[in-house]
Amino acid sequence: MDTQLWIICGLTFVIHVIATLAYAVRIAGVRTRRIAVSFSLFGIIALVSRTANSFQGPFIAKRVELDIAHHMEQGLLGDFRLFLLTATVASTVGAFLIPTFQRYFSRAVDHFQANRSIPRLLLHVFSREGISYIRLGAQFPSRHNVTQLATGAGVSWKVIGLNVIAMAIWTVGVFASLYAGYLKPDLRVTCANLSSVINGFATVVLAVVIDPQVSVMTDDVIEGRNSENSFRRAITTLAGARVLGTLCAQAVLVPAALMIVRIAELI
């Protein structure tokens, strides 16, 4: 693997780890009873993901340009499949980090609520007390959290299935548009700007079906109409669905790229 490939995989890893850890924010919000503050603080962390995302596309685009310019024979399909595999590994790592991250994040929310200062929060994180808590607060997912899924997923199978589909499409969106540019070099700029064709469906499903369902479950726990245990089961299930979705993205990559090529030819 060359340096550029390592950088792209690293950026992909960061993007998908942070996206998976977003599930932990809801658990932290439920435990602290401060949903708005939780999402506001996570927005700071999400800036890292957005920055990585802004660099990922240009790095991949340059790789495509160089491959086309030098008429390389091996093609880039293997590289794109590696990027998708990185997304799967990152989502899996993020899922395992949810118990630890929600504990750290809950403490951060409580500290911010008491002091109402981001600089003070950052100083606390890097203080002796904060570093000690980071070291002692790490926790692997308990076996009980996994085995209890046998008693119910905590969310409907329809939502689980749609989450898998949405994650597969969302994961492959940018990759498919850039790979389409490799398949159709004379329309590669058009193809690169058609990622919204693929991501559009995933965005609609997430915004119209998945997020409202999870938000309702979050409010139900806050208001006492649902148990926190059931909510954790739902979050664990959705995190697993996310990992499965990134795996399914491998099968979606080439058909999505070919569809983008066809649309680029028609417009």
Q: Can you give the pLDDT at residue 146? A: 60
List, for residues 228-241, the tens digit of each pLDDT value.
888 888 888 899 99
Q: Can you give the pLDDT at residue 175? A: 92
Q: Can you give the pLDDT at residue 249? A: 94
Q: Can you give the pLDDT at residue 172? A: 92
Q: What is the number of domains present in the chain?
A: 1
C-alpha dihedral (107, 108, 113, 117), degrees to nearest 10: 150
What is the C-alpha separation between 251 and 233, in angstroms, rounded? 28
Q: Can you give the pLDDT at residue 152? A: 59
Q: Lowest-confidence range among 1-5, 134-138, 262-266? A: 134-138
DSSP 261: H
Among 20, 176, 194, smallest CA distance to 100 is for 20
Identify the domain containing residue 92 by its residue range: 3-266
List, for residues 30-75, the tens digit of each pLDDT value.
888 888 888 888 888 889 988 998 899 889 988 888 888 776 656 6
Whether the per-residue pLDDT at 223 is higher than 60: the answer is: yes
* Residue 144 neighbours by CB distance under 10 Å: 8
Whether the per-residue pLDDT at 158 is higher than 90: the answer is: no
Give the residue, 167 or 219, on which the prediction is more confident: 167
Mean pLDDT of 72-83: 81
Whether the per-residue pLDDT at 151 is higher than 80: the answer is: no
pTM score? 0.88
| Measured CA distances, 87 to 6, 10, 168, 178 (Å) | 13, 10, 10, 16
| Mean pLDDT (the chain, rounded) | 85
Whether the per-residue pLDDT at 267 is higher than 60: the answer is: yes
Q: Which range has highest mean pLDDT (118-122, 171-175, 248-252)?
A: 248-252
